[in-house]
Amino acid sequence: MTSYDAIGDAYDLVYPDTKERVPFVKDLLKKHAKDSILELGIGTGLFAIPLHEAGFNIEGLEISQVMIDVVAQKAPGLKVHKGDMRDYTINGRYDAILALSSV
């Protein structure tokens, strides 16, 4: 169990300004990322879900199973890997790796 497991259901309330920041991230990715994106510390998908819905090929990495479960409920088609970003071995290639609100 991680400390994030305890707050998974209320996590979205901690970052109420995320919706305002998503357009900036979308614009950056449109200019620089081409095919695949990985978000480290995806949390409840506050950034990844809107990007996924906008057509970006994005996956997430998350240590907290509770957070992964929240993402699965909110966006069943969004792939999330379970792991710790501090020692996770990335399999595959990504055009962009994001760490938004996680480091």
Q: Where are the domains of the chain?
A: 18-98
pLDDT at 17 over 70: no
Q: Which of the pair, 3 or 93, is modelled with greater confidence? A: 93
Strand segments (E) across 1-103: 37-40, 58-62, 80-82, 96-98
Q: Please report, for residues 48, 63, 64, 83, 84, the alpha-carbon distance to residue 87 in angstroms, rounded to integers and kept in the order given.
A: 21, 11, 15, 8, 6
**Domain 18-98 CATH (choose: 3.40.50.150, 3.10.105.10, 3.30.70.20, 3.40.50.880):** 3.40.50.150
Q: Which of the pair, 95 or 9, is modelled with greater confidence? A: 95
For the chain, the C-alpha Rg in angstroms (whole number) is: 13
Q: pTM for this one?
A: 0.83
Confidence of residue 101 (pLDDT cuts 50, 70, 90): confident
Asked if residues 67 and 4 have their Cβ atoms less than 8 Å apart, the reply is yes
- Convert the pLDDT of each residue in 27-51 to its tens digit: 999 888 678 999 999 999 999 999 9
Asked if residues 80 and 60 have their Cβ atoms less than 8 Å apart, the reply is yes
